[in-house]
Structure 1
Amino acid sequence: MHLQVRIDIQRRRQFIQIATFGVLLIVHQHHTGQADPDDHRLRVFYPRRPKAHRITEHMDRHLIVVSDVIEPEVEHVLSAGLSAFNDQMTGINDRQSLAVTVRNPDTHQVLGGITGRTSLGLLFLDLFYLPESLRGSGLGSRLLNAYEEEGRRRGCRSAVLYTLSFQAPQFYEKHGWQRFGEVPCDPPGTSRVFMSKAL
């Protein structure tokens, strides 16, 4: 079933909001390049929704929208709101980003390294990558030691990370990290490995 409405719109607008029967709908306009410029008809199909902005619920004129794109505004609102709540509850605002990188000595191009953050006495290791040509030389251990040392300098007492079972859990265990959880994932036989270390 579809509802056909005639409205005056700009042809290049991608999303048009229409108030129909007291419900706010988000409608995606498809352009074929063959439409009559004087014909501004839109066909609204139910229940199909655009992939990028799919409405899953409508209550009290609040929309719940599922998207495969995280907009900067979304990131800012969630991060700022949660940070403010944490600051209010703890009275502490010590969150800092942390990066330890290895670079080409001539060009200063980043070749690999570790990124993460520190917050509330915890050192978070989010990403750790070295190209294959730099592995096995002890460089990874030096990077990890430098990362942990900076965490200690910032007052962190523990460190946490998660890795995949086919990545490097044994490497971390060699440096004193311990597994505290494991969650199976794809492909079969693979798992997410959660690890921690007292600093």
Structure 2
Amino acid sequence: MEVRVETTYGATKKFVAAGLEAFNRHHQTGGAPKSFAVTVREDDDARGGLVAEGVGRWMVFTLLWVEDQYRRRGFGTSLLRTAEAESKKRGAVGVLVDTYSFQAPAFYRKNGYAAYGQVDDFPEAGMTWFRFKKAL
């Protein structure tokens, strides 16, 4: 057996992700809701987006971002509501999302998400990583 540290990890990441995904599929019944993405646009240009990945009977919102000048104007809330509705339509029973204290924990709380886990001093001292969930 030989174990190596890979300095260029792209191919290894794809290999491990594909293997883990195949393994996980054997333990899920009924199939996961299909993954999707949502964009919010103004003047025909994308100003933000959300990426949702189906895992079991849940959706995980892995990415949500809005350009700085469009924040606090309802763009993020529109993305979230559209993605929640689409998730429910695809058969998801709930949503999971991760965020940091310097990102959007108040935003998720305002939109009905409950924190169920946190790690203090991550990724740096004085910061907190949160995990939120919402039933659909």
- Please state which band the TM-score falls in when normalised by the shorter chain: 0.7 to 0.9
2:25 pairs with one of 68, 87, 106: 87
Structure 1 partner of 2:91 = 155
Name the structure with the higher strand share: 1
Given that 2:32 and 2:58 are in contact with CA atoms closer than 8 Å, whether structure 1 keeps it comes out as no
Greater Rg over alpha carbons, structure: 1
1:101 pairs with one of 36, 39, 45: 39
Alignment of 1:5-44 (within 5 A): none
1:129 aligns with 2:65: yes
Instruction: Name stretches of at least 5 consecutive residues in structure 1 with no aligned partner.
Output: 1-61
2:107 pairs with one of 162, 171, 175: 171
Name the structure with the higher helix share: 2
TM-score w.r.t. the length of structure 2 is 0.87
Alpha-carbon deviation of 1:114? 0.8
Give the residue type in structure 2 aligned to 1:64: V
Whole-angstrom CA distance in 2 between matches of 1:93 and 1:103: 31
C-alpha spacing 1:77/1:103, structure 2 compared with 1 (3 Å): same
Alpha-carbon deviation of 1:189? 1.3
Give the residue type in structure 2 aligned to 1:66: V
Q: 3-state SS of the aligned residue for 1:96?
A: coil
What percent of counterpart residues are identical?
31
Whole-angstrom CA distance in 2 between matches of 1:68 and 1:178: 38
Whole-angstrom CA distance in 1 between matches of 2:41 and 2:73: 15
Per mean C-alpha deviation after superposition, the further-off stretch among 123-132 and 110-119 is: 110-119
Question: Bigger relative contact order, structure 1 or 2, given CA contacts below 8 A and separation 6+?
Answer: 2
Instruction: Name stretches of at least 5 consecutive residues in structure 2 with no aligned partner.
Output: none
Alpha-carbon deviation of 1:150? 0.8
1:191 aligns with 2:128: yes
Q: 3-state SS of the aligned residue for 1:155?
A: coil
Alpha-carbon deviation of 1:186? 4.0
Give the residue type in structure 2 aligned to 1:88: H
2:3 pairs with one of 43, 64, 75: 64
Given that 2:50 and 2:83 are in contact with CA atoms closer than 8 Å, whether structure 1 keeps it comes out as yes
